[in-house]
Amino acid sequence: PAEKQALRARIKDLLVREDAVLVAHYYTDPELQSLAEETGGCVSDSLEMARFGNAHPARTLVVAGVKFMGETAKILNPEKRVLMPTLEATCSLDLGCPADTFTAFCDQHPDHTVVVYANTSAAVKARADWVVTSSIAVDVVDHLAGLGEKVIWAPDKYLGGYVQKVTGADMILWDSSCIVHEEFKSRGILDLKKQFPDAAVLVHPESPASVVEIADAVGSTSQLIAAARDLPNERLIVATDRGIFYKMQQAAPGKIFMEAPTAGNGATCRSCAHCPWMAMNALDNLAHVLEHGGEEIFVDEDVRVKAMVPLQRMLDFSA
Ligand code: CIZ
Ligand code: SF4
């Protein structure tokens, strides 16, 4: 603990020295989330991370999260230096949607509007008409369906299927998924509910449809935190990365949070409900990058300019 305190103090000094602000995702280590809060940075979902970084005057943004979040920060802030604790932190959705195959796929459906989830590379965003996060996916697709547009959705098939079901939009879904959320099992959750019948089930829509079906609240990370606060239930079973418990406990002090089971037998998995890439962000690599640089995000200028268009559309839509 003394060592950890010293490391935290050093990071605070380095943030000042480097004119840097720390932006941390809800799924990162609570150490990083609390440090972001204590130093005037922010803890949020990918949409709010983008907004915050864009509005903040610091010359360096340090993004504790995964690579697409760093790229989004760079696309919106080309004049700023964007660092990450490690560039190795990626996402199965980003990996599951390579830009060349995706571009070819879009070219086969020229009459479709291309909507991509924020969890994609800058190059994939550059091919899109819209970027959305899970907090506004339903609203954007509903808007497009209202205009009579047909939609290509990528990359998350479960979130896409959920959006399709809610909006009734005409959608073609790319076939990829989040390795964390796809592991949640409705059987295990129902077994747990037998033990705790008054628990509410909170589900992120990157989870399979069978899990979404048994939810008391479905939504993005920010929406689930609000649901944890607003639902009357004392006990909550949560089907998303357990990093979110840090903020849920702040929003709903005194409530009891349980990880949704990732195995069909009802046993709670102690390591599955946590993104391995989010977990790569830590105090030591954060201190290292602030002290020595490296792990900096660069985006080709032509890609950046193209990707800016659908990203700005998202920010304007949700303003
Ligand atoms: O699963 C993710 O990576 C999420 C929920 C990102 C986000 O939109 O904050
Ligand atoms: Fe990607 Fe899933 Fe990790 Fe989010 S939790 S960064 S969607 S792999």
Domains by residue range for the chain, with CATH: 2-89+278-299 (3.40.50.10800), 93-177 (3.40.50.10800), 181-259 (3.40.50.10800)
Q: In terms of Cα–Cα distance, which of 301, 313, 309, 316 is closest to 126?
A: 309
Query: Is residue 29 within 8 Å of residue 67, measured between CB atoms?
Result: no
Query: DSSP H helical segments within the chain, as ranges?
Result: 2-17, 30-38, 46-55, 67-76, 92-95, 99-107, 122-126, 137-146, 157-167, 186-195, 209-213, 221-230, 245-251, 283-292, 301-317
Measured from the Cα of 178, ligand 1's closest atom is 1
Note the pLDDT of residue 265.
Answer: 46
Q: Would you say 118 is a known binding-site residue?
A: yes
Query: Is residue 60 within 8 Å of residue 21, measured between CB atoms?
Result: yes
The CA 70 to ligand 1 mean position distance, Å, reads 13
For residue 68, pLDDT beyond 90: yes
Measured from the Cα of 276, ligand 2's closest atom is 3
Query: What's the rounded mean pLDDT across residues 195-200?
Result: 97
Note the pLDDT of residue 108.
Answer: 97
Model pTM score: 0.95
Q: Which residues line the pocket of ligand 2, CB cutoff 6 A?
A: 27, 66, 91-93, 119, 178-180, 206, 241, 275, 277-278
Best residue among 23, 28, 42, 119 to mutate for probing ligand 1, ranked by most atoms within 8 Å of CB = 119
Note the pLDDT of residue 264.
Answer: 46
pLDDT 10s digits, 219-243: 999 999 999 999 999 999 999 999 9
Note the pLDDT of residue 266.
Answer: 46
**How sure is the predictor about 271, in pLDDT bands with cuts at 50, 70 and 90?**
low
Q: At what angle do helices 2-17 and 30-38 cross, to 10 degrees?
A: 50
